[in-house]
Amino acid sequence: AAHETRFGYRQADAGVEIVTIRLTAVAPVQPPELALQPPTDSDVSSAVIGEKLVWFDSRPVSTKLYNRAQLFPGHRFQGPAVVFQYDTTIVVAPGWEASVDSYSNLLLSH
């Protein structure tokens, strides 16, 4: 009836096509067990892949470039830095410090 009112005709024998349907489901789950990683023995310099001039505060600053895949628990370094990861890029501004925790998270502090 609504279709006929809006478009002026109806097809009583036509099928219905559902284009979009949304569902929300909630269920209890066990939290994942995250493995703690021991601190690395390697120096953070093994993760450095280069150095470039990067603009901070309207001026170019010599900035180390890091490969995220080579940063391990216990690594820490000072900004300025740029960390390249397969799915993101992280800028560590001057005056900030980056450190890798025992879950391999990259933490930034100021």
Q: What is the pLDDT of residues 46-67, one digit of tens each?
A: 999 999 999 999 999 999 999 9
21 Cβ contact list (under 8 Å, min separation 6): none
φ/ψ (deg, to 5) at 67:
-95, 115
Is residue 70 predicted with pLDDT exceeding 90? yes
Closest CA to 107 of 85, 87, 90: 90
Give pTM, 2 decimals. Answer: 0.71
Q: What is the pLDDT of residues 6-25, one digit of tens each?
A: 988 888 888 888 899 999 99
- Determine the pLDDT at residue 99: 97
